[in-house]
Structure 1
Amino acid sequence: MAFRLIRYAVAAMQRHLEAGHKKLPLVIPVLFYTGKRSPYPYSTHWLDEFDDPALAGKLYSSAFPLVDVTVIPDEEIAGHRSMAALTLLQKHIHQRDLAELVDRLVPILLAGYLSSSLVISLVHYIVQAGETSDAEAFVRELAQRVPQHGDALMTIAQQLEQKGIEKGIQLGEQRGIEKGRSEGERQATLKIARTMLQNGIDRNTVIKMTGLTEHDLAQIRH
Structure 2
Amino acid sequence: MNFGVVRDNLPYLLLGAWPDGPLGGAALTLVLSALSGLAAASVGLVLGIALALVRNRWLHAAVLAVLAFFRAIPVLLLIFWVYFLLPVAFGLDVPKLFTVVVALSLVGGAYLAHSVYSGIQSLAAGQWLAAAALGMTRWQVLRLVLLPQALPMMAPSFINQWVSLIKDTSLAYVIGVAELSFVATQVSNRVMVYPAEIFLAVALIYYLFCASLDLGSGWLSRRYAHIPQL
Shorter-chain TM-score tier: under 0.3
Larger radius of gyration: 1
More helix by share: 2
Q: TM-score, normalised by structure 1?
A: 0.22
TM-score by length of 2: 0.21
Structure with higher RCO (Cα < 8 A, 6+ apart): 2
